[in-house]
C-alpha cells in the first residue's frame, strides 16, 4: 500500500493524506498507480498519477508492506489545474507564452 502525504497536519478529509493499493485505482478521481517489472524481475517501475483534487506542494511517499513502512522519498506537485483550491491558475495566453 502507498501512503502519500503533504503538509504539517495530514488528513484524508483535506486531501493531504491518501492511501491506496499498488495495483491502481478504479476511479479516475483518485490517486492511482501502474507498476511494471523488468524481464529479469529485479526492478519494478511504479508510475503514480495524482488526484484532480490534490493540492500543490511537497509530498512524501511511503510504502507500507504488512505494517513495515519504507520511505520512498519526496516529490513536488507543481501544478494541478483541476484542483478547485488551486491558487496557481494560468490563462491560456500565459501558458502558451511559457511553453514557447
More confident residue, 23 or 87: 23
Q: Is 45 or 97 the better-scoring residue by pLDDT?
A: 45
Q: What is the pLDDT at residue 10?
A: 79
CB–CB of 2/62 below 8 Å? Answer: yes
All 3 cell numbers of residue 17?
A: 493524506
- Residue-wise pLDDT for 30-55, tens only, equals 788 887 888 898 888 888 888 877 88
31 grid coordinates: 490517486
Q: Does the pLDDT at position 12 exceed 80?
A: no
Domain boundary assignment for the chain: 2-99
CATH 2.60.40.10 fits 2-99, yes or no: yes
- The answer on pLDDT for 76 being more than 60 is yes
Residue 68 predicted with pLDDT over 90: yes
Dihedral (C-alpha) 9, 21, 28, 77: value to the nearest 10 degrees? 40
Mean of pLDDT values over 19-37: 71
Q: Is the pTM of this model over 0.85?
A: no
Q: Judge contact between 52 and 25, C-beta under 8 A.
A: no
Tell me the average pLDDT of the chain: 77
Amino acid at each position: 500500500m502507498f501512503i502519500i502525504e503533504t503538509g504539517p497536519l495530514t488528513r484524508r478529509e483535506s486531501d493531504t493524506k491518501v492511501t491506496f493499493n499498488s495495483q491502481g485505482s478504479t476511479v479516475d478521481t483518485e490517486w492511482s498507480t501502474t507498476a511494471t517489472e523488468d524481464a529479469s524481475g529485479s526492478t519494478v517501475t511504479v508510475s503514480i498519477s495524482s488526484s484532480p483534487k490534490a493540492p500543490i506542494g511537497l509530498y512524501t511517499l511511503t510504502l507500507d508492506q504488512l505494517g513495515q513502512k519504507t520511505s520512498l522519498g519526496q516529490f513536488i506537485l507543481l501544478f494541478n489545474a483541476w484542483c478547485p483550491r488551486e491558487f496557481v491558475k494560468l490563462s491560456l495566453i500565459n501558458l502558451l507564452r511559457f511553453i514557447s
